[in-house]
A and B are shown apart, each in its own frame.
Chain A
Amino acid sequence: MNPVPLYVAIPLGAAFLIPLLGMWWKKSGETLAVLSTLVLAVMAILAIGTPAMVHHMGGWTAPLGIALVSDGLTVLLLIAVNVIAFLCIIFSLKYMKVYTGLTKYYSLFMLMVAGMNGVVVSGDLFNLFVFLEVASIASYALVAFGVEADELEAGFKYMILGSVASVMILFAVGTVYAVTGTLNMADASREIATRFGGAEMNPALLLAAAFFLMGFGLKAALVPFHAWLPDAHPSAPAPISAMLSGVVIKSLGVYAMCRVMFHVFGFGTASPSSAIIANAMIGFSVLSIVVGGLLAIGQWDFKRLLAYSSIGQIGYVTLGIGVGARVLATGGTRSLAALAILGGLFHLINHAAFKSLLFLSSGAIQQATGTRDMKMLSGLRKRMPITAATTNLAALSISGVPPFSGFWSKLIIIVATIRAGLMGVAVVAIAMAFVTLAYYVKVQREILFGPVRGPAESAKEVSPLMYVPMIILAIVCVGFGLLYPVLGSRILEPARDALLNGAEYVKLVLG
């Protein structure tokens, strides 16, 4: 049998075993969380290069039963989710010591991982919604884990807006079911292709697409659905911020949006309806890039700055994918669409690495100095050399300085945008890349360089349990930039091809 159900079953088992064993064994959370995320991360890395496979739950074949699917795109997301989850758990071992109720923390963490893995492997629309809720509800609780007033407020706000998004997604799932009579994504996609292939879609389906775009857009924090993120991400404990910004907004938002748009609504073929949706995607992306970037400049709270930066960077990811979808929808060349999507996916995995690293660094700095106010901090380079070095690397990478990973992914996205004939969008994307550089230069200048003063004077380098995950992520940031020829053909190109070939997905699932 194939290992796809394990991605859901292992974290789910750990999530329920931790509180049960935690009644007698205080260390159950730490031990089981480290073990299970390690197994998951190794499994995800070993899945590179394996052929696409499908697991029929309970032996019921595809249109009837629930299919769990693993293809190139799934593997890309599984690697991002599980490797970062493992590193965040290692970071938590020391960082979370100051909190109480740790069995609950690890249990919720594993539940969140189970939900994300479930969203990524699910081949069924309703099942995707259920896992999305599992991951979302776990993350609402984790955002409020500190139970201070502002954390509870941020968690509550996140819960309300997240529930609005879930209702939209549920409504869209219901509409697709009403029109096509099936919940299986491959079956729905085949139905839509035979009925509307290349022509104007049924208005009900367009409405469903709009609701999916809003719902997943809210989970991905695209502007104008971003209001929850700048509160929720800074309020959570640092490893949770790293998970939320690093992988949750991508697996629940961007991945689910791509999967549904390409593999249910059939973005692969030219049609006036997909062009409308793709243009809307590009519009939201440009808004996110501009608003996220401009708002980040004025922030003096380090984590809040990172949160606004996430909004801007997620805009680049969806811009790449939106441009690819638009090229396909308007009958452009397939190779250009492939380039744009590759750029988007590359930026997705790069952003997962450097944004989690930045949030982990912010946690290390907060623990060492007791503050995250950038006006109070200065000269940490001398007091915390390792944290400062990793922060520096991540900042250079995210702001697109060659030869780090962020440069290449933004370059690919911008080149594809120009070749697609969207000059205005490309100019905005280039200009905002410089703005990104500007606010990360501000981070470096205010926090890392300058004279040692204020809280930095008594700061000491954090423990190895905290800086080793940060060093690993920093190596990944550099590695993705330099080793693209190796990584690209193994991870990114299968993911891109999986997204482009909707017909193959249908064949894989329905046999």
Chain B
Amino acid sequence: MKGMTIIVKTITDFVAAFIVVFGAYIVLYGHLTPGGGFAGGVIIACAFILLMLAHGREVAFARLPERAAHIMDSSGALAFLIIGWLGVTGGFFFLNVFGRGDMFRLLSSGMILPLNIAIAFKVGSSLFLVFAALAMFRRRSFRAMIEEELS
């Protein structure tokens, strides 16, 4: 059987969705409460990393394909830059040109919320890809390395 024991797998399946929801909350309320795009993105990535640890790479990639992660990675960063450029319509790079809204509402503080979402996509997908890249390499035993060196 691939991956870890049935206990770990069951619990992982159960909590992964909650972790994603919590991460999304951290991202969306980043401008009101502690947190933000970076922290939320890391939490969302953790859900997928947990799936990868418990079930192996194939299951994690079935939920979030590598290609989709790459697209989100680049387009998140690009979205951040484009939102920054929208400020140029007001004369300054990163000028907050969106409506500010009422204080302490979800839809307030102009471009901070879209920027947090862009950062969450970028950070979450990159962290997932970094972990996937590390998981690609199987560690060789020290003995095997020595034997190879001697032969």
Contacts and interface: CB of A to CB of B under 8 A. Distances in A.
B87 A58 contact: yes
A1 B91 contact: yes
B92 A23 contact: no
B81 A12 contact: yes
B90 interface: yes
Nearest to B78: A16
A13 B96 contact: no
Given A16-B74, A16-B77, A58 B67 contact: no
A-side interface mostly: helix
B95 A58 contact: yes
B57 interface: no
Interface string B60-95: 000000010011011101100100110110111111
Nearest to A68: B93
Contacts of B73: 19
A17 B90 CA distance: 25
B74 A58 contact: no
Given A9-B84, A16-B78, A58-B87, A1 B92 contact: yes
A9 B92 CA distance: 13
Interface residues of A, number: 16
A322 interface: no
A13 B92 contact: no
Given A17-B74, A20-B74, A55-B92, A9 B85 contact: yes
A167 to B, nearest CB: 21
B22 to A, nearest CB: 28
Interface in A2-50: 5, 9, 12-13, 16-17, 19-20, 23
A9 B81 contact: yes
B-side interface mostly: helix
Contacts of B94: 57-58
Contacts of A12: 77, 81
B91 A59 contact: yes
A56 interface: yes
Contacts of A55: 92-93
B74 A57 contact: no
A16 B72 CA distance: 11
Interface string A344-377: 0000000000000000000000000000000000
Contacts of A23: 67, 70-71
Contacts of B67: 23
Interface string B111-131: 000000000000000000000
Interface of A: 1, 5, 9, 12-13, 16-17, 19-20, 23, 55-59, 68
| Pairs of residues from A and B, 10 with the lowest C-beta to C-beta distance, nearest first | A20-B74, A5-B93, A58-B94, A59-B92, A16-B77, A16-B78, A59-B95, A16-B74, A19-B74, A57-B94
